[in-house]
Structure 1
Amino acid sequence: MKKIASSAALSGRVERIAQRDRPDNWKKPPRRIEKSECITCDTCLRSCPAEFGAIFDRGLDVVIIPELCSGCPACVLECPVDCIYVDEDWTPTDDAMWNHIELTAKGA
């Protein structure tokens, strides 16, 4: 059974989306999905805790937004093909993806 995130936790996500940055106090690096190994089953997307909501289906790819990913292992534990890895060298998310995220966040 999935826990329902508190409104405070969800407002933290909205703030991270507005700032487009990872909190400095998150010590674990974000995760990344290896596209060549991913079967686009969306299991990771469904397992990502709502207070992070870091995983998005982008058509043919499923992506983790590093600025929203706390580095928790929830998606890793559920992935049936083990295609999710630690991303020590993550790069900032592009504006087009942020625009998509902002549109979907407003509808939530």
Structure 2
Amino acid sequence: MKKIASPAALSGRAERIAQRDRSDAWKKPPRRIEKSECITCDTCLRSCPAEFGAIFDRGLDVVIIPELCSGCPACVLECPVDCIYVDEDWTPTDDAMWNHIELTAKGA
């Protein structure tokens, strides 16, 4: 069952969305989903803690936004096909995805 984040934690997420940047306090690298192994079951999306909300379903694939991912193992522990890996060499999220995230966040 997904925990509900505190208002302060959610405001931290909103700030990361506005800044489009990872928290400097996070020491672990973000995670990534290997598209060729993913079955798009959305289990990872449902298991990602609300204060991070780093996983999005884009229709044909599920993606982890590295700037929102703290590197915690919550999604990894729930993935039925083990397709989530540490992403040491992550690249910044593109503007089109950020625009989608901002629209989604405003509806929440």
* Structure 1: gaps spanning 5 or more residues: none
1:53-84 per-residue CA deviation (whole Å, 9 max, x = no partner) reads: 00000110100000000000000000000000
Match of 1:102 in 2: 102
User: What secondary structure, in the 3-state scheme, does the structure 2 residue paired with 1:100 have?
Assistant: helix
Distance 2:3 2:91 in 1: 30
Shift of 1:2: 2.5
Gaps of 5+ in 2: none
Q: How far, CA to CA, are the matches of 2:18 and 2:6 in structure 1?
A: 19
Q: What is the CA–CA distance in structure 2 between the aligned matches of 1:41 and 1:65, rounded to whole Å?
A: 17
Q: Which runs of 4+ in 1 moved over 6 A?
A: none
- Residues 13-69 of structure 1 show CA distances to partners (whole Å, capped at 9, x for unaligned) of 000000000011100000000000000000000000000000000110100000000
Identity %: 96
Look up the SS of the partner of 1:18 in the other structure: helix
Q: Distance in 2 between matches of 1:92 and 1:2?
A: 27
> What secondary structure sits across from 2:63 in the alignment?
strand
Measure, in 2, the Cα distance between the counterparts of 1:69 and 1:29: 8
Q: Is the 8 A contact 2:55 2:62 kept in 1?
A: yes
Q: Aligned residue for 1:38?
A: 38
Instruction: Show the 5 A alignment for 1:38-77.
Output: 38-77=38-77
State the distance in 2 between where 1:26 and 1:85 align: 17
TM-score between the two structures when normalised by the length of structure 1:
0.99
Q: Is 2:2–2:46's contact at 8 Å kept on the other side of the alignment?
A: no
Kindly report the root-mean-square deviation, in angstroms, between the aligned alpha carbons of the 2 structures.
0.5
